[in-house]
C-alpha cells in the first residue's frame, strides 16, 4: 500500500468539476418481493432443483412466532427456509454483494447450491460477496436457512421478551466497481467519520476508509472526503492519491477540520451535515460513493451536576423501546419506525434506550434526524456461558453494532450488558474483554451497562457509565434492603449514589404495568404478576418517580420502561396473556395511557391539558378525585357544566380536585386552560350507576 500524494482542501470549483464527470457506479437494490418461505427443515432446500411451488409466497420483512406468542406461552423456535430467484447477468469489472440487515438468529446463505457462509446473532447485518458464484446465464437461486432456536453460544440466553425468527429486515443487492469501499467488514459501510475533537469553535474529524481491490492488479485512485452543510454547500474537504494492491483491503486515513461548526444539539437543533466519501479514477470519474450523516457534538457526565451536551446542562429524559409491534412481531416497516419516533418525540422525550439488542439502522437514522440521544445495546442479557464460542459471538455482536452504526451522531453510549449477575457465574473476564473492544473501536463514546444489584461491585465498575434498573412501587428489589414504594424512589436514588459514585447516577429502567381496561379509585399497590393492573396505579408510580428524579441533578438520565407494551410469551399479567404492559402506549400504538400525558405535560414544550381516568367510564363511587395533567396555569374544572373553580396548585403539572360529587347517570367532565394564547379544552363522560 502506498499513499503517493496528499491534496489538501481541493477548491470547490475543482470538486464540482470532478463530480460532474460521473455519478457513483454503486447500485443498491432492495430484494423484498418474490420470496417463498417454508417453516421447518428440508434436506434439499438449498438445491437449485428443489421444488418450492407449494411454499408460502411472502415479501420482506418477514418473521415467524408472533402469531402464537401473542396468545400463548409457547411459540415456534426452529428453522425456516427462504428461497428466491435472482436474475442477475454478471458484468465484467463489477462486483456483487448480498447484504442482510438481520436474520434471527442463525443464517446460512446459499447461492446456486453453494454455501456462502453463516452468520450467528439475530440483530446485526451481515454481507457476502457473490461475484464468483453467479451463473453465466444470469439465472441464480438464492436460499437462506434461518434458525431462531436457542443456541448456547449466542446471546441472549435468558430473556423477558421474545426472539422471533426470520428475515425480519430488508435484504440488499449491492453492485460496485472492482475497487470499492468494502461492505465486508462486519457489513459496515466501510467509511468511518470520527469527530475526534469538537468544540463550538472547531471540529476535527478523523476519516477512515477501507478500500477493497477485487482485481489482481494494482489500482490507482483518488480518495475524496468532503463535508456538505444542510443546504448542500461544501464546508470542508480533503483528498489523496492512493495505490491499492490487488486482492487486498487496506485502510486509508484523512483528517478534516471545520471552523465554527453548527452543532448537533439534541431535540432543540438536530443539525446534520452530509459526509460524502468518494473513490475517483485519476481523471476524476467517480467509481464509488457513500454518504453518511455527520452530527458534530460533544458531551460529558458530571457525577454531581449531570449530563452536559455541547457544554450546556442537558437532563436526559428517556424511554426504553423494543422492536415489537402488535400483529407484526419484528417485521417492521419504515412507517412503523417513523411512528415510534414521532410518538417518543410527541411525549417530549429526548433519548431512547434501544433494548436489549441492536436495532435497525433505519431507526437510528430517524433518531439522528429527530435529535434523540440513543443508548445502543447488544443482547448480553441476564446470563452468559463460559467458553470461547460464546465469547466469540458476543465479541462479533459488539463489533457488528459499533462498526455498522459508528456514523450515527444520535448514539452516545455503547452498552455491554443488562442485568447480568444474579442468574449466572462470574462474567468479569468476558465483560472486561468487551469493554476493551468497545473502547478500542470507538474511544469517543463511553461504554455503559444496566444493573439491578449492588452485590457485584467489581462487575458494576467495568463500564464507563452505569444505569440502574429499579422499580419502586412495582417489583421488589432483587438484592433486598431497598424500599419499593413509589414515594421512596428518592431514598432509593440517594442510597445508590451513596454506595456507587460510578460516573454519576442513571436510571436505566423504572415504571409499572397498566391495563387500559382496568381502573380503580385510590388504587393500592398491585402484584406485578397479578391479574389486576389498574391504569391509575401506573400513573401514581410515574408521578412519584419523576418527582424524585427531577429533584436530584446528579441523576444525569432516566429511561422509562417501557415506551410501548410488548409481547412476552410466558407472562400472563393484568388480565392479558403474553404481554408486558408497562408501556406508556399500547402494543398496537393506538392508545396512549394516562402516564404518557403526565410526561408530555412535564417534558414537552407544546401546550398540554389532559383529564386522567377517562377510560374509567362506569363508576360506582359518587365521590371521586378528578386529576388533570397540564403545563398551563390556571386550570378550570367543570362538572355537568358547573365550574368548580380554577386551580394553579399543581405539582409537576398534576392538578387534583378532591371528593368531587357525581350525579346518577351521565356526568360530563371538562377542563379548560390557556397557554401560549391557545385555549385548551379536554372532556370525558363518566357514568355513575349503582350504590355509592
Q: Catalytic residues, which ones?
A: 419
Q: What is the DSSP string of 79-115?
A: EEEEEEEEE----TTEEEEEEES--BSEEEEEETTEE
Provide CB contacts within 8 A for 46, sequence distance 6+.
Answer: 110, 113, 115, 143, 145
Residue among 114, 101, 97 nearest 62 (CA): 101
Place of cell 448480553: 380
Q: Give start and end residues of each alpha helix (H) in 551-607.
A: 594-603
Neighbours of 21 (CB within 10 A): 12
What distance in Å separates the CA atoms of residue 654 and residue 648, rounded to the nearest whole number? 10
Q: Are 313 and 306 in contact, with CB atoms under 8 Å apart?
A: yes
Neighbours of 304 (CB within 10 A): 11
Neighbours of 408 (CB within 10 A): 20
Q: Are 276 and 266 in contact, with CB atoms under 8 Å apart?
A: no
Q: Are 142 and 38 in contact, with CB atoms under 8 Å apart?
A: no
Place of cell 475526534: 196
Q: Give start and end residues of each alpha helix (H) in 5-77.
A: 12-20, 66-69
What distance in Å separates the CA atoms of residue 626 and residue 642, rounded to the nearest whole number? 14
What distance in Å separates the CA atoms of residue 449 and residue 456, rounded to the nearest whole number? 13
The phi, psi pair for 535, rounded to 5°, reads: -60, -30
| DSSP type of residue 401 | H
Give the count of alpha carbons within 13 A of 461, CB side only.
7
What distance in Å separates the CA atoms of residue 415 and residue 378, rounded to the nearest whole number? 7
Q: Are 199 and 298 in contact, with CB atoms under 8 Å apart?
A: yes
Place of cell 418525540: 345
What distance in Å separates the CA atoms of residue 274 and residue 33, rounded to the nearest whole number? 31
Q: Which three cell numbers stand for residue 1?
A: 500500500
What distance in Å separates the CA atoms of residue 484 and residue 482, rounded to the nearest whole number? 6
Q: What is the DSSP string of 632-660?
A: SSSEEEEETTEEEEEE---BTTEEEEEEE
Place of cell 459508528: 406
By CB atoms closer than 10 A (0-12, 13-18, 19+), residue 505 is buried
Provide CB contacts within 8 A for 365, sequence distance 6+.
Answer: 293, 408
Query: Assign residue 549 a region: left if phi > 0, alpha if psi is -120 to 50, beta otherwise?
Result: alpha
What distance in Å separates the CA atoms of residue 145 and residue 111, rounded to the nearest whole number? 12
What distance in Å separates the CA atoms of residue 179 and residue 184, rounded to the nearest whole number? 13
Q: Which three cell numbers stand for residue 386?
A: 463460559
Q: Which three cell numbers stand for residue 431?
A: 465483560
Give the count of alpha carbons within 13 A of 79, CB side only.
12
Amino acid at each position: 500500500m502506498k499513499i503517493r500524494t496528499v491534496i489538501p482542501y481541493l477548491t470547490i470549483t475543482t470538486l464540482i468539476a470532478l463530480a460532474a464527470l460521473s455519478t457513483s457506479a454503486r447500485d443498491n437494490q432492495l430484494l423484498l418481493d418474490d420470496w417463498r418461505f417454508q417453516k421447518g427443515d428440508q434436506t434439499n432446500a438449498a438445491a437449485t432443483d428443489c421444488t418450492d411451488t407449494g411454499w408460502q409466497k411472502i415479501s420482506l420483512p418477514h418473521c415467524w412466532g408472533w402469531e402464537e406468542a401473542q396468545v400463548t406461552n409457547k411459540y415456534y423456535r426452529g428453522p425456516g427456509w427462504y428461497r428466491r430467484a435472482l436474475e442477475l447477468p454478471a458484468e465484467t469489472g463489477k462486483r456483487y454483494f448480498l447484504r442482510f440487515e438481520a436474520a434471527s438468529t442463525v443464517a446460512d446463505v446459499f447461492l446456486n447450491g453453494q454455501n456462502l457462509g453463516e452468520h450467528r446473532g439475530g440483530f446485526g447485518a451481515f454481507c457476502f460477496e457473490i461475484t464468483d458464484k453467479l451463473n453465466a446465464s444470469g439465472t441464480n437461486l438464492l436460499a437462506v436457512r434461518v434458525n431462531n432456536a436457542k443456541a448456547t453460544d449466542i446471546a441472549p440466553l435468558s430473556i423477558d421478551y421474545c426472539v422471533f425468527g426470520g428475515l425480519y429486515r430488508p435484504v440488499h443487492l449491492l453492485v460496485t466497481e472492482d475497487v470499492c469501499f468494502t461492505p465486508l467488514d462486519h457489513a459496515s459501510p466501510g467509511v468511518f467519520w470520527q469527530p475526534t475533537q469538537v468544540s463550538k469553535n472547531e471540529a476535527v474529524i478523523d476519516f477512515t476508509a477501507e478500500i477493497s481491490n477485487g482485481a489482481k492488479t494494482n489500482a490507482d485512485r483518488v480518495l475524496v472526503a468532503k463535508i456538505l452543510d444542510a443546504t448542500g454547500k461544501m464546508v470542508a474537504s480533503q483528498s489523496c492519491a492512493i495505490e491499492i494492491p490487488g486482492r487486498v483491503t487496506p485502510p486509508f486515513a484523512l483528517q478534516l477540520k471545520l471552523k465554527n461548526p453548527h452543532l448537533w444539539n439534541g431535540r432543540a437543533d438536530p443539525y446534520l451535515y452530509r459526509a460524502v466519501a468518494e473513490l475517483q479514477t485519476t481523471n476524476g470519474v467517480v467509481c464509488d460513493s457513500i454518504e453518511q450523516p455527520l452530527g458534530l457534538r460533544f458531551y460529558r457526565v458530571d457525577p454531581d451536576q449531570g449530563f452536559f451536551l455541547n457544554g450546556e446542562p442537558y437532563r436526559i429524559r428517556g424511554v426504553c423501546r423494543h422492536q415489537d409491534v402488535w400483529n407484526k412481531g419484528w417485521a417492521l416497516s419504515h412507517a412503523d419506525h417513523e411512528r415510534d419516533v414521532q410518538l417518543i418525540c410527541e411525549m417530549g422525550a429526548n433519548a431512547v434506550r434501544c433494548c436489549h439488542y441492536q436495532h435497525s439502522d433505519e431507526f437510528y437514522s430517524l433518531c439522528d434526524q429527530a435529535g434523540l440521544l440513543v443508548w445502543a445495546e447488544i443482547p448480553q442479557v441476564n446470563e452468559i456461558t463460559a467458553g470461547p464460542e460464546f465469547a466469540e459471538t458476543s465479541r462479533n455482536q459488539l463489533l457488528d453494532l459499533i462498526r455498522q452504526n459508528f456514523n450515527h451522531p444520535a448514539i452516545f453510549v455503547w452498552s455491554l450488558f443488562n442485568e447480568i449477575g444474579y442468574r449466572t457465574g462470574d462474567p468479569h473476564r468476558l465483560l472486561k474483554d468487551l469493554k476493551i473492544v468497545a473502547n478500542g473501536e470507538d474511544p469517543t463514546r463511553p461504554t455503559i451497562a444496566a444493573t439491578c444489584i449492588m452485590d457485584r461491585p467489581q462487575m458494576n465498575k467495568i463500564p464507563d457509565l452505569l444505569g440502574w434498573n429499579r422499580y419502586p412501587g412495582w417489583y421488589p428489589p432483587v438484592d433486598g434492603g431497598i424500599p419499593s414504594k413509589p414515594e421512596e424512589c428518592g431514598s432509593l436514588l440517594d442510597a445508590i449514589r451513596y454506595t456507587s459514585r460510578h460516573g454519576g447516577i442513571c436510571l436505566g429502567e423504572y415504571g409499572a404495568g397498566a391495563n387500559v381496561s382496568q381502573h380503580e379509585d385510590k388504587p393500592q399497590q398491585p402484584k406485578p404478576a397479578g391479574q389486576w393492573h389498574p391504569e391509575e396505579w401506573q400513573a401514581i408510580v410515574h408521578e412519584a418517580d419523576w418527582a424524585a428524579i427531577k429533584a436530584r441533578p446528579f441523576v444525569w438520565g432516566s429511561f422509562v420502561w417501557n415506551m410501548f407494551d410488548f409481547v412476552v410469551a410466558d407472562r400472563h399479567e393484568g388480565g392479558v396473556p403474553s404481554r408486558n404492559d408497562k408501556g406508556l402506549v399500547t402494543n398496537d400504538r393506538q392508545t396512549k395511557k394516562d402516564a404518557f400525558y403526565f410526561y408530555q405535560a412535564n417534558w414537552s414544550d407544546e401546550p398540554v391539558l389532559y383529564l386522567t381516568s377517562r377510560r374509567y367510564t362506569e363508576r360506582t363511587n359518587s365521590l371521586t378525585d378528578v386529576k388533570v395533567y397540564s403545563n398551563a396555569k390556571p386550570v378550570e374544572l367543570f362538572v355537568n357544566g358547573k365550574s368548580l373553580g380554577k386551580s394553579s396548585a399543581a405539582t409537576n403539572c398534576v392538578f387534583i380536585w378532591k371528593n368531587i360529587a357525581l350525579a346518577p347517570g351521565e356526568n360530563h367532565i371538562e377542563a379548560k386552560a390557556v397557554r401560549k394564547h391557545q385555549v385548551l379544552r379536554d372532556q370525558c363522560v363518566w357514568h355513575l350507576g349503582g350504590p355509592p
